[in-house]
């Protein structure tokens, strides 16, 4: 079966790391067809729209989307794209690899982040010259849907015994309280073990002893911030892939942004984009191919060559060629 993949490079190093991921995918024996769309700062400057309707429709109609990064227009691009694929959960692995100089080499975490609500819902207002407001949205239905996904996730993998629920319900009693009650309630009904950690305490504990955590379920903003914190433990954002999963569609993207300080220099780390492509392969049923890509990436991280963010001096093309060679 042929799968249609929407490819949106976006801005900055997205235009370098997504072609690297496509090069790796093209080296595999998989039935993928690529169709390209445009989005981001440059497109807005040219057309007045950061995410043109044809690109939105492309993502909505494809079997999966591979996305790079957007700059100043990020909120106008990635949030609608996640809506296009009806994504309700953002999966962000944060794993330390052999050969990478990690602050905490024992780190191996999976963040399951609610992807539709919270303060990213877009309800902001200027009430006066002195006052702006932001409305936080939390529903029981979205919290329970995330919980069901988390339960399925841990039950399908013998390596996971349960999950940690991260919240701040001691202060945000109505919103995080609703999130916590929805998630824990579903887990209790399904017999899945959970523990609760306040998000500020979690930020400290993850740095001191990341091994005490495994699968982490959290609200939207907390998942965004805390997974970036975990990136600092494993060697940087250049190593973190992600998946935005919907019921019938999905979008895959590296966690890093456009990195304007190095964009266009050919030195960007393609690891996160390649691992995002591996997550896409697994999602589409190409589990063997996904494992091959992960194994090849791990071998290159261990033995080199490496990009500058990992202490090496290799460029994007050199690292990509090394991964392809390992395949």
Distance CA 124, CA 9 (A): 29
Residue with tokens 């993949």: 5
* 120 assigned to active site: yes
Residue with tokens 């050199």: 318
Q: By the 8 A CB rule, do 312 and 241 touch? A: no
The 3-state secondary structure of 98-133 reads CCCCCCCCCCEEEEEEECCCEHHHCCEEECCCCCEE
Options 27, 86, 181, 228, the catalytic residue: 228
- DSSP string across 151-218: HHHHHT-TT--EEEEEE-TTTSTTHHHHHHHHHHHHHHHHT-EEEEEEHHHHHHHHHH-GGG--EEEE
Options 56, 120, 153, 286, the catalytic residue: 120
Q: By the 8 A CB rule, do 251 and 202 touch? A: no
Residue with tokens 């930020």: 203
Distance CA 299, CA 98 (A): 9
Options 161, 200, 303, 313, the catalytic residue: 200
* 168 assigned to active site: yes
Options 11, 224, 286, 309, the catalytic residue: 224
Distance CA 79, CA 224 (A): 13
Options 44, 95, 168, 309, the catalytic residue: 168
Catalytic residue positions, numbered: 120, 168, 200, 224, 228
């Amino acid at each position: 079966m042929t799968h249609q993949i929407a490819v949106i490079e976006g801005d900055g190093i997205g235009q370098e790391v997504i072609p690297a991921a496509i090069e790796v995918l093209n080296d595999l024996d998989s039935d993928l067809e690529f169709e390209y769309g445009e989005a981001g700062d440059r497109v807005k400057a040219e057309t007045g729209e950061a995410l043109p309707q044809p690109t939105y429709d492309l993502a909505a109609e494809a079997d999966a989307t591979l996305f790079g990064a957007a700059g100043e227009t990020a909120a106008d691009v990635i949030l609608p794209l996640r809506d296009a694929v009806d994504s309700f959960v953002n999966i962000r692995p944060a794993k330390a690899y052999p050969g990478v100089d990690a602050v905490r080499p024992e780190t191996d975490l999976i963040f399951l982040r609610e992807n539709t609500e919270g303060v990213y819902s877009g309800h902001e207002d200027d009430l006066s010259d002195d006052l702006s407001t932001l409305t936080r949205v939390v529903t029981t239905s979205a919290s329970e849907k995330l919980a069901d996904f988390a339960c399925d996730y841990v039950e399908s993998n013998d390596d996971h015994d349960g999950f940690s629920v991260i919240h701040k319900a001691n202060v945000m009693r109505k919103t995080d309280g609703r999130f916590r009650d929805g998630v824990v309630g579903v887990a209790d009904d399904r017999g899945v073990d959970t523990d609760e950690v306040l998000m500020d305490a979690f930020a400290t504990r993850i740095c001191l002893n990341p091994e005490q955590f495994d699968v982490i379920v959290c609200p939207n903003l907390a998942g965004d911030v805390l997974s970036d914190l975990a990136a600092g433990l494993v060697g940087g954002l250049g190593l973190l892939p992600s998946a935005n999963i919907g019921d019938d569609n999905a979008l895959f993207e590296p966690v890093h942004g456009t990195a304007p300080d190095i964009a266009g220099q050919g030195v960007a780390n393609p690891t996160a984009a390649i691992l995002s492509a591996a997550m896409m392969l697994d999602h589409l049923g190409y589990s063997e191919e996904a494992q091959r890509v992960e194994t090849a990436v791990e071998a290159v991280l261990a033995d080199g060559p490496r990009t500058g963010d990992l202490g090496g001096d290799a460029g994007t093309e050199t690292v990509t060629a090394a991964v392809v060679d390992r395949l």
